[in-house]
Amino acid sequence: MTTPQSALPPPPGIYVPIPTFFTPTSTLDLSTQLTYSLHLLSHGITGLVLLGSTGEAVHLTRTERIQLITYIRRGLDTAGYHATPLIVGTASGSVEETLQQLHDAKEAGAGWGMCLMMGYFAGSVGAEGVGGVGGWWREVAEKAEIPILLYHYPAVSNNLKLPASIFESLGTHDNIVGAKFSHADIAAHSAVTLSPHLDPSNFRVYTGLGQQLLSVLLVGGAGAIDGLAAVCPKEVVALYELGMRFLGGRGSEEERRRVLEMARRLQWCVARAEELVVTWGAVGVKEALRRRGFGTGGVRRPLVAWGEMEGRTEGWGEWEGRLRAVEGVGEEVGAFLKGLE
């Protein structure tokens, strides 16, 4: 295996970690997968992330993974989205299996891999062994055929929290082009995004939590790979655009004040609605999409679909109200931004 000679990070913006849709018999629903992907792109999403946590990557076989990536890449190309970034997740603790998944992703048409550091041996690694975590990522990067992003998600990695020094060290590797941070620690974001040891044009950090998007942009983040954007794509894109417009310093002082005011309003609504994703993960996202005409809401065991969770479905009205609030403010933001053009 040979690594790319000139690895570039994905463009800044909003990416959706899209769920994997299943038919009622739990096979891949590729038709819905593509229809939904095109729906997202029509609302301004920068790129797609397949087979991440929301995509139930650990529930798919190698054959299914290849089939899904291939179908989406070909479908996007046929629809004219040739340049749309396609990032594919890996979730294996084995270096060799991770490299195989990255090879398969490349052959199927993906441009980047997003590699989750598994935490099975977190107890053994401990504070003295975080170099082993960095070594794992470095070995993958040195042998991978596509550039990779480091996926830091303590909640699914045995709560292993990594220091900024690891990302400062790895962020200069030619084949490591960014990271996704799925934790709520803004200080940790800042320690990496503002580090003088890293070049933000070569190593970009994306938050996995849309409820902190505005804050992350203000400390140099590149955008988000965000679960709520799966349900409210144009609204999360609008929040990103407000943040970038404010940071760009365009317009009069009054216009910038209004931009920040609108951004804060939308961020508050997004933060409240994001609790759906935080609480229910892929199950909640799929149920929200089912109610919007995408898929059946089906998941694979050990996850249980929304309708099968006894005594929990009556609370959906509150979630729907929060989603509608995001959409309502999003409409105001859209009109506001259009007026500034």
pLDDT in tens, the chain (341 residues): 444 545 899 999 999 999 999 999 999 999 999 999 999 999 999 999 999 999 999 999 999 999 999 999 999 999 999 999 999 999 999 999 999 999 999 999 999 999 998 888 866 665 445 568 888 999 999 999 999 999 999 998 888 889 999 999 999 999 999 999 999 999 999 999 999 999 999 999 999 999 999 999 999 999 999 999 999 999 999 999 999 999 999 899 999 999 999 999 999 999 999 998 988 999 999 999 999 999 999 999 999 998 888 666 667 888 899 999 999 999 999 999 999 98
Residue 27 inside a domain? The answer is yes
Contact between 298 and 26 (Cβ < 8 Å): yes
Rounded-to-integer distance, Cα 198 and Cα 193, Å: 8
The residue range of the domain holding 210 is 13-340
Residue 210 inside a domain? The answer is yes
Residue 225 inside a domain? The answer is yes
What is the value of pTM for the model shown? 0.96
Residue 256 inside a domain? The answer is yes
Residue 68 inside a domain? The answer is yes
Number of domains in the chain: 1
Residue 3 inside a domain? The answer is no
Residue 270 inside a domain? The answer is yes
- CATH number of the domain to which 38 belongs: 3.20.20.70
**97: Cβ contacts below 8 Å, ≥ 6 apart:** none
Rounded-to-integer distance, Cα 43 and Cα 36, Å: 11
Measured between its terminal Cα atoms, the distance across the chain in Å is 48
**231: Cβ contacts below 8 Å, ≥ 6 apart:** 273, 276, 285, 288, 289, 292, 323
Tally Cβ neighbours within 10 Å of residue 201: 10
